[in-house]
Structure 1
């Protein structure tokens, strides 16, 4: 039970008005448009779409604007809006092998069919502030190149020689994490869903921990590709599939060592990451965590590392759940605190009395 606070509703209304004023900032400066955010903050928009489980760049940009750039708050807004949308059906699995890639690299093979395509990346920048951007001049025009694809998968080269495990089977049909609560232990399909919309920073920390020895996962990036894939839905009445649009995805397949077991020869194993938008850091981290969580099915020993603990990873990866549980302590807990305050006072008084005796 909370102590009633008089005037609370008026105070909340005032806080909302102040928030709107703070969001707008100096009215002498032109206001950011949703289109500007969508086009010029594409990586932030991609993260909000991925972790919000809703592919709509305009809505993600609107959420970023409303949240004043707080991406977790924007993800919260998108997820809340998503619950209001009707479902008309389910799309077919997308074919990432047919991706029209704008970026496609491999750390395992230098010469690839289709070539290494650097694409738009920060990898080769000097990480120096570009003060020319402050002048708000026109952007340089990049050479135009057509996306590549379809191109063969790098893991296919190893697969032909039997040097990598066969593609692990997934649950059929896969469960839907957005409609059913997470149930542990979770199959790989459900784990991948959870990781795909998990917090990027959390997954990055887990992936880094595994590289440092807490989980023994230090893979090669077999292939990283970014590009558009077609989304198709089946129309049972017509007996055909219809393409309803294209979405941008980032896919990462990692190649990991495996010394073998009594039943399996030495070979490479797979880690997998797939994320909406351009988010290669998240896709790579996801693939490392995916591989670390597969230790049981591969017959490996439990190292006790957090990244190999399914409950630890999956129950803490969701930033919206984490935010709700963390920020609820800002709410009034007056009665709870008063009871603990009285307890501390009694304990101190008892200790003082015993010391006096």
Structure 2
């Protein structure tokens, strides 16, 4: 038994060494630095921070490098590291209305105070391979004034709100549970659902949102506003009696408007969907807003269409890619005892079936 344990340890050590060698790749090629990952693979870094629930571009870059570009593995590393960090307190709610916007668009109003800010996006590119990038030259600098617009920009939802055309924003003063410290419990209030959707796998959330657009949930949405930019983070200091800014984070916020025919107590009006994610993560934020609205069918008095995106017990537990990965990949670990038990069962059943067939043939012959 001791020999088997030692042999297993040695094999695992060798596997780690081989993994490190594969991670490094061809040693004739310069090693990828964390600064390069952080500055040039920002969308991957943003996804790892968002789904890992930890805003730290340097640590996210390290996790991506360690995981050889496997973003789900990197998210797993970040979540595991996050559990080791001390917690000093809670920050005040961020004011996205005061965001310094790098990008701010509306698909519902062409002309709005503050204007449309197209910002850095793939939306207007031709989706053709740019072979100039292979030459590793420096791209031209963007025109001056491309930094975040510091002027306050009112939320587009305010235009509809002033006319009474959209529902009041759902509000709950009770402290929401912290999904990073407590397991998910169902049924989940909207605050907890939004936390789960923020941490959910981008591909899964996108699939759920796409299903609502294709009719599985009757969720025809318009993007009222999508904004990406920097907001200050503040902490209330009891001894001082006021909040102190401790840093800044980049956020993507999406608000959608959806048709609503009204109910016995509410007139026809628009309803809301909401998404808020770390970094420039607009596909995830839009998907999150669509799924958020789909999950609100019951509180809005709508009928249950049976669509997957309307089922919180389906969406919320299955969207967590770390849990999904752990449960999926555990089946490649040794299951010798379980399989041997099933193997013996199948052998016995086959033997019994074969014996019964022999008896049947013998009776038929007689």
TM-score when scaled to structure 2?
0.95
Deviation for aligned residue 1:96: 0.4
User: Residue 297 of structure 1: CA displacement?
Assistant: 0.4
Matches of 1:253 and 1:140 in 2, distance apart? 34
Q: Which residue of 2 aligns with 1:40?
A: 40
The residue aligned with 1:328 is: 330
Q: What displacement does 1:175 show?
A: 1.2
The correspondence of residues 21-170 of structure 1 with structure 2, limited to 5 A, is 21-145=21-145, 146-148=147-149, 149-170=151-172
* Equivalent residue pairs, number: 354
The runs of at least 4 consecutive aligned structure 1 residues that moved more than 6 Å come to none
Distance 1:30 1:203 in 2: 36
1:198 aligns with 2:200: yes
Distance in 2 (alpha carbons) for counterparts of 1:62 and 1:191: 29
Within 5 Å, give how 1:331-350 maps onto structure 2: 331-350=333-352
Aligned to 1:8: 8
CA contact (8 A) 1:97 1:150 kept: yes
The 1:171/1:313 distance shift into structure 2, 3 A limit, reads farther
Deviation at 1:170? 3.1
Partner of 2:233: 231
| SS of structure 2 residue aligned to 1:194 | helix
Q: RMSD value over aligned CA atoms?
A: 1.0
Deviations 1:140-170 (A, max 9, x none): 2111224233111111100000000000113
* CA distances 1:246-288 after superposition (whole Å, capped 9, x unpaired): 1000000000000001110000000000000000000000000
Counterpart of 1:289 in structure 2 is 291
Q: 1:171 to 1:20 in 2, by over 3 A?
A: farther
Q: Give the Å deviation of 1:171.
A: 5.2
In 2, Cα distance between the equivalents of 1:324 and 1:116?
A: 42
Moved more, 82-91 or 268-277: 82-91
Contact 1:306 1:313 in 2 (8 A): yes
Residues in 2 aligned to 1:9 and 1:25: alpha-carbon distance in whole angstroms? 25
Structure 2 equivalent of residue 298 of structure 1: 300
**Displacement after TM superposition at 1:183 (Å):** 1.1
Q: Which moved more, 1:227-236 or 1:137-146?
A: 137-146
> Contact 1:220 / 1:256 at 8 angstroms: preserved in 2?
yes
Aligned equivalents of 1:92 and 1:6: distance in 2?
Answer: 52
Question: How far apart are the structure 2 equivalents of 1:340 and 1:170?
Answer: 51
Query: What per-residue deviation string (whole Å, max 9, x for no partner) do you get for residues 281-326 of structure 1?
Result: 0000000000000001000010111100011011111110011111
More divergent stretch after superposition (74-83 vs 145-154): 145-154
- Distance, in Å, in 1 between the alignment partners of 2:221 and 2:118 is 20
Aligned to 1:217: 219
Q: Within 2, Cα distance between the matches of 1:217 and 1:92?
A: 32
Of 176, 179, 189, the match for 2:178 = 176
Q: Distance in 2 between matches of 1:324 and 1:169?
A: 35
Structure 1: how far apart are the matches of 2:334 and 2:188? 36
CA distance in 2, matches of 1:345, 1:181: 42
Structure 2 residues not aligned, in runs of 5+: 361-366
Q: Secondary structure at the match of 1:258?
A: coil
Judge which range, 341-350 or 49-58, deviates more. Answer: 341-350
Max Rg structure: 2
**Aligned partner (choices 344, 354, 357) of residue 355 of structure 1:** 357
Question: 1:7 deviation in Å?
Answer: 1.3
